Amino acid sequence: MTYCVALRLKAGLVMLSDTRTNAGIDSVSKFRKMFTWCVPGERALCLMTAGNLSITQSVITTLQEQIDDPNFVGDTMLTAPSLYRAAEILAQAMRDVMAKYAEGINSAGENSGASIILAGQRKGGKLRLYMIYSAGNFIEASEDTPFFQIGGFKYGKPILDRVVTEETSLEDGKTAAMLSMDSTLRSNLAVGMPLDLCVIPTSKYELSEYRRIEAEDPNFRALSEAWSQELRDSFVKMRAMPK
Amino acid sequence: MTYCVALRLKAGLVMLSDTRTNAGIDSVSKFRKMFTWCVPGERALCLMTAGNLSITQSVITTLQEQIDDPNFVGDTMLTAPSLYRAAEILAQAMRDVMAKYAEGINSAGENSGASIILAGQRKGGKLRLYMIYSAGNFIEASEDTPFFQIGGFKYGKPILDRVVTEETSLEDGKTAAMLSMDSTLRSNLAVGMPLDLCVIPTSKYELSEYRRIEAEDPNFRALSEAWSQELRDSFVKMRAMPK
C-alpha cells in the first residue's frame, strides 16, 4: 500500500508521500515514491507513485533515460513546452511499460495497476496537478478539487475535505497534508514512515522544500501528538451537545 | 454502499447505521439496515447489514419466520441459549441464502457479498458483538477491538481509533459513532441520512434507545457543525507547531 497526497493551492503545490511498500502482509520494504526534476527559475516538477512498484519504477527510469540521453529525439519531462505535454510524455511511458509487462503480471495473478501524480510549473505556464492512470489516461485537478490522493486514501480524506481549499496557505497546506498522513499512518499499517515532502511555490520554479521526514522526527511527532490531544479535547466538548 | 458501526463498551452496546443503498451510482434508495429483537428483561438483540440487499433481506426474513412459526423446531434468535448460538443461527441462515442465490447473482456479474453485525445480551450472559461474513463464518469483538464496522468504513475509522476504548461511556460512544458517521457522510455520497441508532445498556436486556435520526434532525446537524468548527479551530492551533 501507499499514501500520497498533492495539494494545488493558489500559493503553490504541496506533495507528501510515505515510503512503505508491501508484497503481501509479510514482505514490507521501504521505497521512495516521490521524484523531482527541477531547473531553478525555469521549471519544477514533482511526481508521486502508487501501485505496482515494478511498473512505476520502470516508468520513472524511462523518463530519466529520455532526459539523460543526448541523442533522444522528442520532448522530455525537462523540455516539454507545457505541463500538459509533460503529462502526455509520462502517460506514454506508462502505456509503453504496461504494454510490456501488464499481461505477464496479471496472468501471474498479481495486480499490475499503478497511478502517478504529476505536479509542477514551468516558466510562462500555470501550476498544474495531474493524475495519470494505468491505461495512460489522465485528469487535471480543477478549482473544485484542489487535491489528489493515491494509494490508501480514505482514512486521510475527511480532514482534507474539511480544511483545504484553493485559498489555503502553503504552511496550512503542509499541516493539512501531514495530518491527513498522520490519520492514515494510525489506521493503515501498510502506510509507513519515513515521509517525503516537496513544496513548489507558485511562479518560483523551484522546490522551496524537498526533504525526508524520518520516523523519529521530533516536529512531526509533536504535531501528531498535539493533533491527537486537540481531537480528544474537541471530542470532550461535544458532551455538552444534545444528541 | 452502507456504513454501520457497532461499539461494545463495558457500559453497553451502541449501534448506528445509515439507510442508503445504491445499485450503481444512478439508482439510490432508502432501506432500513438495522433490525432488533427484544424481550424486555430477558434478551435484547440488534443486527445491522451491509452488502447485497436481496441477500441480507432474505437472511432477516428467514430469522423472523423461524421466530413467527409456532411449529418451528430448533433454536431461534429469541430462544437461543447463548448469543454464540444466536450468531450460529444467523450464520446458518446466511449460508442457506447464499447457497440458494449467490451463484446466480455472481454469474450475472453482480456482487453477492454481504456482512452482518450482531450484538446483544441475554440474561445470564455477557454483552456480545459478532461479525458474520458471506461464507457464514464469524468473529467476535475482543477487548482489544471494541468496535466493528461494515460497509464503507475507512472514512469513519480514524476518529474511532483515537477516542473509543472499552471504558468509553455510552454517551461518549453515541457521540463517537455519530462523528464517525458524520465524517463518512461528508466523504462518501453512497452513505446517507436518515440514520438508525440503537443503544443496549449492559445487563438491562432492553433497548434504552432505538430511534431514527432524520436528515433535518436539529441535534445531529448542530453536532456536525460544532465538530466541524472544533476541527477547524484545532487545525488553526497547529500553525504554532514547527514542521
Instruction: Calculate how close chain A gets to B15, using CA atoms only, in Å.
Output: 14
Are the beta carbons of A1 and A190 closer than 8 angstroms? yes
Count H helices and E strands in chain A, helices first: 5, 12
* Residue-level pLDDT at B199: 98
| Residue A113, min C-alpha distance to chain B (Å) | 21
If one counts every other C-beta atom within 10 angstroms of the C-beta of residue A88, the result is 17
In a domain, A127, yes or no: yes
Segments forming the whole domain that contains residue B156: 3-217
ipTM of the complex: 0.88
Whether A242 is in a domain gets the answer no
A114-122 and A128-132 strand pairing: antiparallel
Residue A221 CA neighbour count, 13 Å, CB half: 6
By the CB < 8 Å criterion, does B172 face chain A?
yes
In a domain, A158, yes or no: yes
Indicate whether A16 belongs to any domain: yes
Of the candidates B75, B51, B50, B54, the residue with the CA atom closest to the CA atom of residue B63: B75
Touching B: A residues 196-235, CB under 8 Å: 219-220, 222-223, 226-228, 230-235
Q: Which of A87-101, A141-155, A193-207, A210-224 is least confident?
A: A141-155
Q: At residue B144, does pLDDT exceed 90?
A: no
Region A221-234 average pLDDT: 96
Contact A234 B227 (CB under 8 A): yes
- Say how many domains are in chain A: 1
Q: What's the confidence (pLDDT) of residue A21?
A: 86
Q: Residue A226: inside a domain, yes or no?
A: yes
What CATH number has the domain bearing residue A212?
A: 3.60.20.10
In a domain, B35, yes or no: yes
pLDDT number for residue A81: 96
pLDDT for B189: 84
Residues of chain B with C-beta less than 8 angstroms from the C-beta of A237: 226, 230
Least CB–CB distance from A234: residue in B222, B231, B241: B231
Q: Distance from first CA to last CA of chain B, Å, rounded?
A: 38
What is the residue-averaged pLDDT of chain A? 95
Phi-psi map region of B67: left, alpha, beta (phi>0 left; psi -120 to 50 alpha): alpha
What pLDDT, in 10s, does the model give residues A135-181?
999 999 988 889 999 999 999 999 999 999 999 999 999 999 999 99
Q: Is residue A197 part of a domain?
A: yes
In angstroms, the separation between the Cα of residue A220 and the nearest Cα of chain B is 6
Which residue matches cell numbers 434508495? B29
| Confidence class for position A187, pLDDT limits 50, 70, 90 | confident
Q: Is the peptide bond before B194 cis (omega within 30 degrees of 0)?
A: yes
Q: For the residues A23-37, what does the mean pLDDT come to?
A: 85
Alpha helices (runs of H) in chain B, residue ranges in sequence order: 53-68, 83-107, 157-163, 170-187, 218-237
Task: Say how many CB pairs under 8 Å bridge A and B.
Answer: 113
**Per the CB < 8 Å rule, is A219 touching B237?**
no
- Kindly tell me the burial class for residue A228, based on how many C-beta atoms sit within 10 Å of its own C-beta (0-12, 13-18, 19 or more): middle
Per residue in B54-76, pLDDT tens?
999 999 999 999 999 999 999 99
Does residue B242 lie within any of the structural domains? no
